[in-house]
Chains A and B, each alone.
Chain A
């Protein structure tokens, strides 16, 4: 599904929300009278998730003629989080659903709402980075769908060649590259920002996390215990870097209203050089501007010191089965989850969710995978990666994306923003009942 205009996205999101509300009213699927089992599969509306879900459902039905799968679509972002929580709490969840791993999964209270999948065959293939982010002390709840991805700078390679630039390893080199682009490439924005969709503003902070850990390996645990904060270095640097780029005037002119799709197009077509983004943006580029896929490269957000420059990794989202699913539907749901990680399922993943990082389970990337995968793999080979904060600490405030917009728009300074965010996470920590808050 290609959505060029932000408005059409809104319309679709609204339609999807209505569809989901309708689905919620009809409740979970029931067995048909003729011996077939009907199950539902809930996914989010961001491309290419609906397409992937439909393809998986169709292929699965072919292999299991006695099971029918109905795909339901929900909104993404915090709206979607809310919907998932509500449907789980009321026992109205779809039989299989697609959702984040890590802290967002923990917020679903998986021990009491999800089915433990620890006895499934595919569990043995999971990477040791992935297993903890879908587990609690009492069980393992999710199977990966899609590969992991990295957060950092997605850049336009032809532009780099044209200007004779090299991939920066320190923050100063990065700023020097930006200066060169601003001076020599006419009409090219050195750094792309898209605050029309606020979540895209967080990458300077979230993507810098591996660099924070390189300086202070205890940071995540200490943060959960309320012993570290964003108002102090090294974590403060993420905010400061965003402010520095903003003050230098390196953003694209339409940064206050541009959307994620615009950002993907700009970096693909060379209207902008750097897009601080998740590497999975390549899937959007593949949909909208397929010819440009091989022009896109990736490097980690540079730290002050080259020795600390690491890539921040997001573990894949996963498929879960709620406790409200029982009997024949439960068996069918487990089959579907296993199917997504079978050979046929992996073929669909490789086609529709091309990997922008290593897989976490049975699937393997093909030679046709996007070129940027090689850039990310290099960080893995060198051991210069770390999981994003949301996989090592449950503490994430809801307003980070707003406050990073404020830094990028010059409303708050980095220091004010960091202090604000430290206050913002207190609510989350208290809601979770953590010690020391």
Chain B
């Protein structure tokens, strides 16, 4: 839900005719409305109910808030929680910085610009599980390509996915590699939308490249920055697939995030507990994203 917010906001702001009578009858909303209700709204609200029960696919037993109490008592949860925050903020920050840098580069006069843009975007198109399995093979500490190459240079490569202190950051790096294309794309769109006159005026006033970037590009791509932060932070906080494909939360529990803790409970057949976990994840993401999104959007209006 929150993911669509920035986009929708801009769309309504852009089209002032939103309040005018539409030429289409309102029942055109019906098919989409029914799909939304059946596949989104009903399961979402059903999950709130199921989180209060201990259930199998056929029986439910109402147990009040026991699942929530149990979920917070899970010893792996505290680490999973911290890891989720680290992962969410590290990947989001890296995507903002690197995405902006790449976008600036790829909007400048560059040989093979179109080709480079595609190359940056390609990882986004690959399945996350595929990326996970590929990197697991490439970064194998003993016969992976990367460490073998490092070894020929006389460097002993780290246990990327197997060193408890390293695993989470390695996954975050792979996530950034995979997701950077989207951030770059959004930034390119933002930069291209900045009128060239501002740069011309700045050049006439004798502004250097860095000053142009600081005083024109950076403030004027603020809407793009807000979108990138919101999308990547939500994605990071809920992330699961890449972690599952690479380490499964391991070694031990050192790269577990809330998503993988929940999945393991679901796998073990603790359906009520894992539903409660999902409700908590929903609340945590909302609690972080609502203030972040309000803050970013307020700034946008101020300008």
Stretch at the interface among B34-42, B50-58, B98-106, B213-221: B50-58
0 or 1 for each of B245-272: is its CB under 8 Å from A? (1 = yes): 0001111111000000000111111100
Q: With an 8 A cutoff between CB atoms, is B76 at the interface?
A: yes
Q: With an 8 A cutoff between CB atoms, is A222 at the interface?
A: no
Stretch at the interface among B115-123, B134-142, B177-185, B187-195: B134-142
Q: With an 8 A cutoff between CB atoms, is A405 at the interface?
A: yes
Q: How many A residues touch B, CB cutoff 8 Å?
A: 39
Q: Which of B137, B248, B273 contacts A427 (CB 8 A)?
A: B273
Q: With an 8 A cutoff between CB atoms, is A420 at the interface?
A: yes
Once the chains are docked, how many angstroms separate the CA of A253 from the CA of B75?
Answer: 30
> Are A398 and B133 touching (Cβ within 8 A)?
no
Q: With an 8 A cutoff between CB atoms, is A430 at the interface?
A: yes
| Residue ID in chain A nearest B268 by CB atoms | A398
In the complex, what residues of B have CB within 8 A of residue A107's CB? 269
In the complex, what residues of B have CB within 8 A of residue A426's CB? 70
Which residues of B190-231 have CB atoms within 8 Å of chain A's CB atoms? none
Interface centre among B75, B76, B252 (most CB of A within 10 A): B252
Q: With an 8 A cutoff between CB atoms, is A138 at the interface?
A: no
In the complex, what residues of B have CB within 8 A of residue A256's CB? 141, 159, 162-163, 251
Once the chains are docked, how many angstroms separate the CA of A402 from the CA of B137?
Answer: 21
Which residues of B24-80 have CB atoms within 8 Å of chain A's CB atoms? 54, 56-58, 70, 73-76
Contact A427:B253 (CB < 8 A) given known A398-B264, A409-B164: no
| Residue ID in chain B nearest A79 by CB atoms | B267
Stretch at the interface among A22-30, A80-88, A241-249, A375-383: A80-88
> Are B254 and A257 touching (Cβ within 8 A)?
no
Which residues of A252-302 have CB atoms within 8 Å of chain B's CB atoms? 253-254, 256-258
In the complex, what residues of A have CB within 8 A of residue B161's CB? 257
> Are A257 and B140 touching (Cβ within 8 A)?
yes
> Are B142 and A257 touching (Cβ within 8 A)?
yes
In the complex, what residues of A have CB within 8 A of residue B162's CB? 195, 256-257
Q: Which of A254, A403, A420, A427 contacts B268 (CB 8 A)?
A: A427
In the complex, what residues of A have CB within 8 A of residue B74's CB? 423
Q: Which of B73, B251, B268 contacts A409 (CB 8 A)?
A: B251
Once the chains are docked, how many angstroms separate the CA of A399 from the CA of B270?
Answer: 13
In the complex, what residues of B have CB within 8 A of residue A14's CB? 129
In the complex, what residues of A have CB within 8 A of residue B273's CB? 427
Once the chains are docked, how many angstroms separate the CA of A10 from the CA of B163?
Answer: 21
Q: With an 8 A cutoff between CB atoms, is A36 at the interface?
A: no
Contact A257:B141 (CB < 8 A) given known A85-B269, A89-B58: yes
Q: With an 8 A cutoff between CB atoms, is A411 at the interface?
A: yes
Q: With an 8 A cutoff between CB atoms, is A228 at the interface?
A: no
| Residue ID in chain A nearest B249 by CB atoms | A402
In the complex, what residues of B have CB within 8 A of residue A409's CB? 164, 251-252
Contact A402:B141 (CB < 8 A) given known A82-B269, A86-B57, A427-B270: no
Which residues of A388-406 have CB atoms within 8 Å of chain B's CB atoms? 398-399, 402-403, 405-406
In the complex, what residues of A have CB within 8 A of residue B56's CB? 89, 109
Q: How far is the CB of B145 from chain A (nearest CB, A)?
A: 12
> Are B142 and A402 touching (Cβ within 8 A)?
no
Q: With an 8 A cutoff between CB atoms, is A324 at the interface?
A: no
Contact A253:B270 (CB < 8 A) given known A402-B252, A430-B54: no
Once the chains are docked, how many angstroms separate the CA of A405 from the CA of B136?
Answer: 18
In the complex, what residues of A have CB within 8 A of residue B70's CB? 426-427, 430
Interface centre among B73, B248, B251, B264 (most CB of A within 10 A): B251
Contact A198:B57 (CB < 8 A) given known A257-B140, A257-B159, A427-B265: no
Q: How far is the CB of A78 from chain B (nearest CB, A)?
A: 4
Once the chains are docked, how many angstroms separate the CA of A73 from the CA of B57?
Answer: 23
| Residue ID in chain A nearest B248 by CB atoms | A198
> Are A431 and B54 touching (Cβ within 8 A)?
yes
> Are A89 and B57 touching (Cβ within 8 A)?
yes
In the complex, what residues of A have CB within 8 A of residue B254's CB? 411
Q: How far is the CB of B263 from chain A (nearest CB, A)?
A: 10
In the complex, what residues of A have CB within 8 A of residue B57's CB? 85-86, 89-90
Q: Which of A89, A399, A428, A431 contacts B76 (CB 8 A)?
A: A399
Once the chains are docked, how many angstroms separate the CA of A412 from the CA of B252?
Answer: 9
| Residue ID in chain A nearest B143 by CB atoms | A254
Other contacts beyond A256-B162, A398-B267, A428-B268: 20, CB < 8 A: A7-B133, A7-B136, A10-B133, A78-B264, A78-B268, A82-B266, A85-B57, A195-B250, A257-B141, A398-B265, A399-B264, A402-B253, A403-B252, A405-B252, A406-B252, A409-B164, A411-B251, A411-B254, A420-B75, A423-B74
Which B positions have Cβ atoms within 8 angstroms of A?
A: 54, 56-58, 70, 73-76, 129, 133, 136-137, 140-142, 159, 161-164, 248-254, 264-270, 273
Which A positions have Cβ atoms within 8 angstroms of B?
A: 6-7, 10-11, 14, 78-79, 81-82, 85-86, 89-90, 107, 109, 195, 198, 253-254, 256-258, 398-399, 402-403, 405-406, 409, 411-412, 420, 423-424, 426-428, 430-431
6 contacts between A and B (CB under 8 A): A10-B133, A14-B129, A78-B267, A256-B162, A257-B140, A257-B141
